[in-house]
Structure 1
Amino acid sequence: MRLALFNHGRLGIVDGDDLVDVTEQLAGPGPYGPAGPLHRHIEQLAAGTVRLPDLAPGLRTPLSGAALAAPLPLPGKIVGAPVNYLDHQAEMEYTTSVADLGVFLKANSSVIGPGEDILLPYSDKRTDQEGELGVVIGRTASHVSAEEALRHVFGYTCLLDITVRSDEDRSTRKSFDTFTPIGPWIVTADEIPEPDALDLRCDVGGTTRQRTNTADLIFGVRELIAYTSSVMTLYPGDVIATGTPAGVGPLSHGERVVVDIERIGRLEVGVDGSRATPYGQRPGRRSAPAPSH
């Protein structure tokens, strides 16, 4: 199934050219809170409350006219995998990879959905796009093996890990509001039995910058879940950003960014730099010390 959030928090299944509203069928009665009905559904599945949707009576909305939102607007946590493609390691001239660095956390408040804008924070610091496969956890995972890892996956989505090339810590540089576009929906794991064999492309301003296959990941999805769950417990609704290939580059005001992943879909967002400010004017900055006399 392809599960999407649309039209002010409704949960739908993509059926051909339509979205079938299954909000109450899959998530039960509201309210659902800021995490949304899909997060509620994932948690209920993990708890053993199985809800099977019946598409026949559902209210249908043409997909072309639906206002899609981030399918998980407030994940429990977002885990990132730094330097998880060899070609990206080479282009950035890193001497380390995910195997040395481990994983990092992004703020869950950085999530936006299809059609929204990435807000560039600094006018004089480069902000890059990083197209990635996103993995949505479906069952609590702690110290799981690579062989068992996929049993803990609910589904997959397109994801952008936006990054400022500043002097701040990695988690800070990747956690600005709007820095984790997710969508356009989540494809359930049964539709993608092998996540380490998906073509991925990322275009900026109509030009392809990144093209890869997830077979080239240093830590594949199984290994990444196993490693991450050895560090921190993963809960239903958590999201793992699996890493980006070569081709990262600066974003400019007015550009469109598209991530297209085989068997999942196409996520498109905009770029807005109209509110960017100089890096030296950020809150908490420290001026140079006064000379001693």
Structure 2
Amino acid sequence: MKIAATKDNRALVIVADRAYDVTGALPLPPARHGGPWLPLFEEEMIDSFLDSLQLDQFEQVDLASTPLAAPIARPGKIIAAPVNYIDHKIEMSEQKTIAEYGVFLKANTSVIGEGDTVEIPYHDKRTDQEGELAVVIGRGGRHISREDALDHVFGYTASLDMTVRSTEDRSTRKSYDTFTPIGPWIVRTDELPDAGNLALQSHVDGELRQDTNTSELIFDVPQLIAYASSVMTLCPGDVIVTGTPAGVGPIKDGSPVSVTIEGIGTLSVVASASNAIAYADRPGAQVLIETTK
């Protein structure tokens, strides 16, 4: 089973390529910014609701003609894994991996969905694509063991962790609005019980940029959940983006960008530099110049 959200805030359930509009049966109203599914995650009602559905009672919709939104538009938090593939460590000339760096947080307002636009902030600094597997937490907790970790997963989706190559810390460089596309839907664990061996590819301007398998992760999904929950309490609806492999590179105005993950599907967005400014013109840049004189 998959769950999706539409741009007009409807809730879809997808089984065997058939999509059903279940919005009218939701036990809680859609969140203003989080979309139709977020309240059910927050109240830990998502599994019981989905398990109770009799889908033949609901109207089918044509997915091909239905614009989709991010399945969770405002996760409680987005936890991100830096340098979680060895080939990316080599590519970036990094001295450390996630084992030394730990995880970092991205702003939840950076989330967009299928077909949306990534806004490039600076015309003189690179913005790169990073295709990643994303994990959606269904059952929260603290100090979750590796052995129990997958019991806390609701499902999986695809993500693009967009990144400005500048001097700020990771959380800043990756938290611009539009910098966390996720989607096109969430695949529940009844359909995808284990994401430990999935092909992942990213394309930019039709060119294959990244080509790996999630079996190459340094911290796999259970280890990531165990580690992250040792630092912070995980809550239903939180999203963990698991890190990117080698092949990151710049995007430009008009670039189509996509990530395809086996068992999940393809998430596609487009880049725009229509509002880009010079890096030196960013707010606060003059203060930096004055303090370094």
Please give the range of the TM-score, normalised by the shorter of the 2 chains. over 0.9
Q: State whether structure 2 residue 38 is matched by structure 1 residue 39.
A: yes
Instruction: Report how far residue 19 of structure 1 moved.
Output: 2.1
Q: Is the 8 A contact 2:28 2:39 kept in 1?
A: no
Which amino acid in structure 1 is aligned with residue 271 of structure 2?
V
Residue 55 (str. 1) matches residue 52 (str. 2): no
**Within-5 A mapping of 1:202-281:** 202-281=202-281
Instruction: Indicate if the aligned counterparts of 2:30 and 2:37 stay in contact, CA closer than 8 A.
Output: no
- Post-superposition shift, 1:23? 1.9
What corresponds to 2:70 in structure 1?
Answer: 70
**Structure 1: distance between partners of 2:10 and 2:36:** 7
Offset from partner CA, 1:249-272 (integer Å, 9 cap, x none)? 000100101110000111000000
Deviation at 1:47, TM superposition (A): 8.4
TM-score, structure 1 as length reference: 0.95
Q: 1:24 to 1:169 in 2, by over 3 A?
A: same
Read off the aligned partner of 1:104 and give its amino acid letter.
Answer: F
Tell me the SS of whatever aligns to 2:55.
coil
Query: What percentage of residue pairs aligned between the two structures are identical?
Result: 52
CA contact (8 A) 1:84 1:217 kept: yes
Partner of 1:182: 182
Q: Deviation at 1:31?
A: 4.5
> What does residue 151 of structure 2 align with?
151
Q: Is the 8 A contact 1:46 1:236 kept in 2?
A: no
Instruction: Look up the match of 1:288.
Output: 289
Q: CA RMSD in A?
A: 1.8
Matches of 1:173 and 1:290, distance apart in 2: 22
Q: Does structure 2 conserve the Cα–Cα contact (< 8 Å) formed by 1:46 and 1:139?
A: no
Deviation at 1:39, TM superposition (A): 1.6
More deviation, 12-21/68-77: 12-21
Residue range with higher mean Cα deviation, 36-45 or 247-256: 36-45
Whether the aligned pair in 2 keeps the contact of 1:17 and 1:64 (CA below 8 Å) is no
Look up the SS of the partner of 1:24 in the other structure: helix
Unaligned stretches of 5+ residues in structure 1: none
**Separation in 2, partners of 1:91, 1:169:** 19
- Residues 278/36 of structure 1: CA separation in 2 closer, same or farther (3 Å cut): same
Give the C-alpha shift of residue 48 in structure 1: 7.7
TM-score (norm 2): 0.95
Residue aligning to 2:141: 141
Give the structure 1 partner of residue 191 of structure 2: 191
Q: CA deviation at 1:32?
A: 3.0
Q: Which aligned pairs between 1:97-116 and structure 2 lie closer than 5 A?
A: 97-116=97-116
1: distance between equivalents of 2:67 and 2:192? 26
SS at match of 1:123: coil
CA deviation after TM superposition for structure 1 residue 13, in Å: 1.2
Query: Aligned residue pairs: how many?
Result: 291
Residues 114 and 269 of structure 1 are in contact (CA less than 8 Å); yes or no, is this contact kept in structure 2?
yes
Kindly report structure 1 stretches of 4+ aligned residues shifted beyond 3 Å. Answer: 15-18, 43-51, 287-292
Tell me the secondary structure at the aligned position of residue 195 of structure 1. Answer: coil
Indicate conservation of the 8 Å contact 1:14/1:20, yes or no. yes
Q: State the Cα deviation string for residues 34-71 of structure 1 (Å, max 9, x = none).
A: 21221223334458854521111212211111010000
- Assess if the C-alpha contact under 8 Å between 2:5 and 2:69 holds in 1: yes
